[in-house]
Chains A and B, each alone.
Chain A
Amino acid sequence: MKSINRFIYTNPKNVGLNTIFNRKKPAASVEVMGMVFFIFLWCILSYFIFAKEGSEHLRGFLPLPTFKALVDYLTRGNFWLSAWASCRRVFLGIFLASVVGVPLGIIIGYYPVIRKFTYSPIQFIRMISPLSWMPVALLLFASFESAVSFLIVMACVCPILLNTAIGVLNVNPQWVRMAMNQGAGHIQLIRTIIIPHSIPYMLTSIRLALGIAWIVLVPAEFLGVSSGLGYLINDARDTMEYDRLMAMIIAIGIIGYTLDRILQRIQRIFSWTWAE
């Protein structure tokens, strides 16, 4: 019995629409061009918005002051300390969210009864802005640091959980039937078929969570912590130094991009293993 999936995914780069459009692999230069286009767009737009008469105090949003501020930051220990502090919070938050979200997602995806049972609570919690948990976070946790991590966990756990569940739901039913036919139990089924198949989905969910974590980080660092990129953004807003604010946005962008790239690589490795 030959599965359709097997045919499509012989080359993991040919996932989805790529099988149709992606006969030839686009050159790496296309990606660079995208970046250049984006910077060009920023120059043009910011010029039209901020360079006009009467918005002198907003000139910090223009590319040149931003890069000056960024270079200035890169030479300071304070910045690196903050970058590390923010990364640590993001990693810890995502790690904890995965520890909760992935197993729950597998169980919810696997057992239809649990899926029905948890549907409404999860949809409910998913819609709540993580920042409205702030008073709860302050009440539950002794330190501000753990309160910040809690907010990130609250923001990331639902996307991780739902994506993992979707991964489980998308397992080729023929594989499951085949395994059951040969006498596989639930545990065995989950271990040998469900989990390996869902790994790409889990990694996608973590990539999604990464973006959400950075979004939550800035307001979460309103709380009593004394370092972090979000903290520096708040500082810049408090003192109306918008070049510093933009520099921090760029820094977060670069860090986020790098982390996403790393995850993408890992994802690629895993799509090979299960497809082989």
Chain B
Amino acid sequence: MNFHSIPINRRKFLKTAAAGLSGIVAPSMLNAKYSTSPLSIGYLPITDSAPLLIAYALGYFSQEGVVIDRPVMVRSWKVLTESFLTGKFDITHMLFPIPVWMRLKHKFPVKVLAWNHTNGSAITVKGGSGINGFKDLKGKQIAVPSWYSMHNLLLQLGIKQMGLRPVIKSQSSKLGKNEVNLFILSPPEMPSALLGNKIDGFIVAEPFNALAELKLKARIMRFSGDMWKDHPCCVVVCNENLIRNYSLSVQKAVNAIVKAQIWLTSNPKEAAFLLSRDGEGFLPVSKGVLEQVFDDPADSELKHPEWGVSRIGFQPYPYPSATRFIIEQMKETVVEGDTSFLDNVDPVAATEELVDDSFVLKAINEIEGVGKPFLREETIEIN
């Protein structure tokens, strides 16, 4: 199988040549906005990281002329954020609420460049359990991977929709009528805890849901994309200083990531192989598990088959409507720790401050194959 075969036509060739030329000329013209030392990318062993990994594996970064080291894997959101804060990683993927929290609470100069992927999470319950919808979660214990995560936000959205109340209590304390208890658990522990009846369900990124499905015969209660159509999950972030100093490198990196997203959309099987330990070994799981993730769910598993969502989708444009919605929801979401920083945040201004869509807009306009509606209505329906 050759993953590097990209059909070259004349137009494409001219475009590549032009891009190459601009790469040569630009540094002297634009005050060297181009980093000569390699940029580093960090990722977690989840399918959320696919666009960054594919852009590297297929050589899109080098094609664009930006030097990137082999992406470095770390094992937890904590380590990923700490590494990003201390400058170990130039570009990385992050759950959308994390940069919101970093920027608005800690004033760290993080910028969201693009959406990394859409959907890609699910609420998983035990195979034989009678939990079929959010209303069945009453009095249950549900694990989330981190307080500042899309998972926590989506889960609480669903719980509240059913008139239930999300709470954070110790597991032994008695739950009131209409309460759902949430707590943090690291993703590798979730499937085992589910089977050992420590928890009644969990919401987490892939491939942990697929793993639980295949290994433990667990059942997906709801795909996240089935609640909020094509919702953002991870975003591509970098430090504002990188944009200021090396805007050209950032542009090239974003171009490569957008290309990788296009490739991922049309080559799910190849992507599953390439990322798995049977292929390039970026993720520790086997090909079969990843195929389950990249395969679209059957209509019978969906509440809204008419939406036509993928289990994990790839779409780069950061719709401001979604960002605003996330910031609004973060105000409503119960977390442990101080959230007063969100009280006076204006979602519109915060979106402006947080997201820099100039690079991704340029990439979308130049690269064929990405949809160009820059406005959308958020479709959220929970039942």
Are A and B co-members of a single complex? Answer: yes
Partner-B contacts on A (CB < 8 A): 54-55, 57-58, 134-135, 138-139, 144, 222-224, 226, 234-235, 237-240
Does B188 lie within 8 Å of A58, measured CB to CB? no
Q: Please, how many angstroms separate the alpha-carbon atoms of A144 and B285 in the complex?
A: 23
Q: Please, how many angstroms separate the alpha-carbon atoms of A235 and B44 in the complex?
A: 12
* Residue B313, interface by CB 8 Å: no
Segment of B51-59, B71-79, B329-337, B349-357 engaged in the interface with chain A: B71-79
Task: Give the top 5 A-B pairs by smallest Cβ distance, nearest first.
Answer: A224-B72, A222-B75, A235-B284, A237-B188, A139-B86
Q: How far is the CB of A150 from chain B (nearest CB, A)?
A: 13
Candidates B195, B211, B289; contact of A54 at CB < 8 Å: B195
Does B82 lie within 8 Å of A138, measured CB to CB? yes
Chain A residues closer than 8 Å to B201, beta-carbon distance: none
- Across chains A and B, the number of contacting residue pairs, with CB separation under 8 Å, is 61
* Residue B191, interface by CB 8 Å: yes
Chain A residues closer than 8 Å to B45, beta-carbon distance: 235, 238
* Residue B62, interface by CB 8 Å: no
Query: Closest chain B residue to A78 by CB distance?
Result: B281
Q: How far is the CB of A124 from chain B (nearest CB, A)?
A: 23
Q: Please, how many angstroms separate the alpha-carbon atoms of A234 and B187 in the complex?
A: 12
* Residue B247, interface by CB 8 Å: no
What is the size category of the interface that chain B forms with chain A? Answer: 20 to 34
Main secondary structure of the interface of A (DSSP, over half): helix
Does A240 lie within 8 Å of B211, measured CB to CB? yes
A selection of 14 A-B contacts at a CB cut-off of 8 Å is: A57-B191, A57-B215, A135-B86, A139-B86, A144-B72, A222-B75, A222-B76, A223-B79, A224-B42, A224-B73, A237-B189, A238-B45, A239-B286, A240-B216
Candidates A224, A235, A237, A239; contact of B83 at CB < 8 Å: A224
**Binary A-proximity of B262-300 (CB < 8 A = 1, otherwise 0):** 000000000000000000000011100100000000000
Q: Please, how many angstroms separate the alpha-carbon atoms of A134 and B45 in the complex?
A: 19
Does A138 lie within 8 Å of B88, measured CB to CB? yes
* Residue B192, interface by CB 8 Å: yes
Partner-A contacts on B (CB < 8 A): 42, 45, 72-76, 79, 82-83, 86, 88, 187-189, 191-192, 195-196, 211, 215-216, 284-286, 289
Chain A residues closer than 8 Å to B188, beta-carbon distance: 234, 237-238, 240
Candidate in B74, B88, B195, B211 with the most chain A CB atoms within 10 angstroms: B88
Does A238 lie within 8 Å of B284, measured CB to CB? yes
Chain B residues closer than 8 Å to A135, beta-carbon distance: 82, 86
Q: Please, how many angstroms separate the alpha-carbon atoms of A72 and B284 in the complex?
A: 17
Chain A residues closer than 8 Å to B88, beta-carbon distance: 138, 144, 224
Q: Please, how many angstroms separate the alpha-carbon atoms of A55 and B195 in the complex?
A: 8
Chain B residues closer than 8 Å to A224, beta-carbon distance: 42, 72-74, 79, 83, 88
Query: Closest chain B residue to A135 by CB distance?
Result: B82
Query: Closest chain A residue to B285 by CB distance?
Result: A239
Candidates A57, A223, A239; contact of B216 at CB < 8 Å: A57
Chain A residues closer than 8 Å to B216, beta-carbon distance: 57, 240
Candidates A54, A223, A235; contact of B74 at CB < 8 Å: A223
Chain A residues closer than 8 Å to B286, beta-carbon distance: 239
Q: How far is the CB of B191 from chain A (nearest CB, A)?
A: 6
Known contacts A223-B75, A224-B72, A224-B74, then 16 further A-B pairs from the complex at CB < 8 Å, ordered by chain A residue:
A55-B195, A58-B192, A135-B86, A138-B83, A222-B74, A223-B74, A224-B83, A237-B189, A238-B188, A238-B284, A238-B285, A239-B211, A239-B284, A240-B211, A240-B215, A240-B216
